[in-house]
Amino acid sequence: MSFTSLAFTVMAALAAASTDDLVIRNVTLASPEQDAALEGRWVRITDGRIVEVSANPIEVHEGDTVLDGEGRFLAPGLTDSHHHVSFVPGMGAAGMPPATDHPDLVAAYMTQQPRSLLYHGVTQVLDPAPLTGWEGFTDQPQHPDLLRCGEVPGPHDGYPVNQRSGDHPESAYPYDITAPDEAAPVIARMQADGAVCVKIYLEDGFGAASDWPLMSDETLDAIKAEAQARNIPVLVHANAIDMYQIALDHGVGVMAHGLWNWQWPEGEPPVVETLDRVIESETGYMPTLRVMAGLADHVRPGTLDNPDLAPVTPASLMTFYREGGADWFADELASDFPADMPRDEIADIFGFGVQRGQRALAYLHGEGHPVMLASDCPGSPTAINQPGLCTLLEMEAMAEAGMSAVEIFRSGTLTIAAQFGLEAEYGRITPGYVANLVLLGSDPFDSVAAWRDIETVVLRGEVISRDSLQAR
């Protein structure tokens, strides 16, 4: 089965059937393949899919639900192409300490997580490294459509295995490739389990570490060859120049992190050659600016006073943060700096990483290279990187890097759909497409701020008031 046909099958199974149609009347259509929004459109949705889009009124049948779109903008829901459903902000992996010490808080977060994504217009997510237990996301009654990679750990004494406590648990790493001849059967099992991509790791250290072992060239090539034969892309965890160059040497499909781990003196940046290779090879690019921004926010005093947190964070979890429950990670981050260095200065240093990532992004989009909306939420155990909000903040950081509202809009719709073979499923308001839509009070072609102005979410044809999605 091809990747495209597999994806279609998976998404079709996710689409919720309905007995009556939904008609959206007299709405301004903001579909990103267009150059501008189109006024006075009508849309009919049947069984979770768009079946008609018209500039003329559509006949309403008895039993149809009618959604009045007058004065509103209808856009396809966003895809966050890098979101971890099995991780809890401020805690880390849900099945490991310290999360296992707080089961009630984890349960509250897992219940709210998909609602928070929908609250910010994210109707699809790709989890590039799902741990077992991801079913807790899809078991929720309202959740974005979930796509998954199959996660391949690196060497057992390398990243990310060396970041876990205890032994190498099957529950954390259900797939394991340590030699070239293991690639074919393991990737076959991944795909049979529903994986639509393979993620590998090229990380030789961070902080004080710089000598972690890497996957061998032979194993990397075997993974690439098997994935290519099965028509699924290889995503690579890499954020430093040397790791990027290794990945590009092996012709990987997607860089799962932006290039923000480098030094950029005045004058011509040394990363241009590497970024040019990304462009020339048409390698997919996920900026993931929220990785470094989340670290900065986590150590910066007063971050928890951000009013954007309340709608997407369970009240019990906010209390936990305010009482110092996530301070362990802030202390861990600060331990790499002088003991007397103020926390806001440490935050500023992490902020330099954000700036480097933005400059790399500015170069790529300035050269016309498409990028994907990708937050890596929560990434590290950073409390501020709450689902949905994390995606919005990523978009705002992309705007700060110089991307226009329409470029960012397309990065979360058309570009991701093209990268993962979902062009006939998501990213447009067109007959046949999944009816994952958002109704906004302002035009997403004009400003990223439109994504703060969501009024209604349509999930596989189900109309959901945004207010009903708020955390409690």
Q: Which has the closest alpha carbon to 321: 102, 70, 31?
A: 102
pLDDT at 12 exceeding the cut of 50: no
Q: What is the pLDDT of residues 445-465, one digit of tens each?
A: 999 999 999 999 999 999 999
Regarding whether 89 and 50 lie in a shared domain, the answer is: no
Check residue 4 and give its pLDDT: 42
Alpha carbon distance 281, 151 (integer Å): 24
Alpha carbon distance 374, 245 (integer Å): 21
Taken in order 73, 76, 80, 84, the sign of the CA dihedral is: positive
Regarding whether 285 and 353 lie in a shared domain, the answer is: yes
Regarding whether 435 and 401 lie in a shared domain, the answer is: no
Regarding whether 386 and 342 lie in a shared domain, the answer is: yes
Regarding whether 406 and 333 lie in a shared domain, the answer is: yes
| Residue 47 domain flag | yes
Where residue 468 falls among pLDDT bands split at 50, 70, 90?
Answer: very high
Q: What would the mean pLDDT of 10-34 be, rounded to a whole number?
A: 74
| Residue 303 domain flag | no
Q: What would the mean pLDDT of 74-88 be, rounded to a whole number?
A: 97
The strand pairing partners of 261, in sequence order, are: 240
Q: What would the mean pLDDT of 215-219 be, rounded to a whole number?
A: 95
Q: What is the pLDDT of residues 328-354, one digit of tens each?
A: 999 999 999 999 999 999 999 999 999
Q: What is the pLDDT of residues 239-290, one digit of tens each?
A: 888 999 999 999 999 999 999 887 655 545 568 999 999 999 999 999 999 9
Check residue 6 and give its pLDDT: 39
Regarding whether 252 and 192 lie in a shared domain, the answer is: yes
Last residue of a domain, one of 396, 419, 442: 419
Q: At 43, phi and psi to the nearest 5?
A: -135, 135
Regarding whether 86 and 152 lie in a shared domain, the answer is: yes
Regarding whether 464 and 359 lie in a shared domain, the answer is: no
pLDDT at 14 exceeding the cut of 50: no
Alpha carbon distance 450, 443 (integer Å): 6
Check residue 264 and give its pLDDT: 52
| Residue 317 domain flag | no
* Parent domain of 204: 79-296+327-419
Check residue 8 and give its pLDDT: 40
pLDDT at 10 exceeding the cut of 50: no
The domain total for the chain is 2
Regarding whether 84 and 54 lie in a shared domain, the answer is: no
Q: What is the pLDDT of residues 171-191, one digit of tens each?
A: 667 888 989 999 999 999 999
Check residue 159 and give its pLDDT: 86
Check residue 1 and give its pLDDT: 41
Check residue 47 and give its pLDDT: 96
- Number of helices (H), then strands (E), belonging to the chain: the values are 14, 17
Average pLDDT, the chain: 91
Q: What would the mean pLDDT of 56-80 be, rounded to a whole number?
A: 97
Q: What would the mean pLDDT of 85-109 be, rounded to a whole number?
A: 93
23 versus 5: the higher-pLDDT residue is 23
pLDDT at 112 exceeding the cut of 80: yes
The CATH number for 462's domain is: 2.30.40.10
The CATH number for 196's domain is: 3.20.20.140
pLDDT at 167 exceeding the cut of 90: no
Regarding whether 42 and 126 lie in a shared domain, the answer is: no
Q: Which has the closest alpha carbon to 457: 445, 467, 465?
A: 465
Q: Beta strands 454-459 and 437-440: pairing type?
A: antiparallel
Q: What is the pLDDT of residues 276-316, one digit of tens each?
A: 999 999 999 999 999 999 999 999 999 999 999 999 999 99
Check residue 209 and give its pLDDT: 72
Query: Cα torsion at 441, 445, 450, 456 (round to 10°)?
Result: 50
Regarding whether 431 and 415 lie in a shared domain, the answer is: no
Check residue 169 and give its pLDDT: 56
Check residue 11 and give its pLDDT: 41
Q: What would the mean pLDDT of 7-21 be, rounded to a whole number?
A: 46
Which of 120-134, 161-175, 350-364, 370-384 has the weakest average pLDDT?
Answer: 161-175
Q: What angle do CA 388, 143, 124 make, to 5 degrees?
A: 60
CA distances from 207 to 54, 98, 351 (A): 56, 21, 15
Q: What is the pLDDT of residues 46-64, one digit of tens each?
A: 999 999 999 999 999 999 9
Q: Could you tell me how many residues make up the chain?
A: 472
Q: What is the pLDDT of residues 388-416, one digit of tens each?
A: 999 999 999 999 999 999 999 999 999 99
Q: What would the mean pLDDT of 111-134 be, rounded to a whole number?
A: 93
Q: At what angle do helices 272-280 and 343-366 cross, to 10 degrees?
A: 50
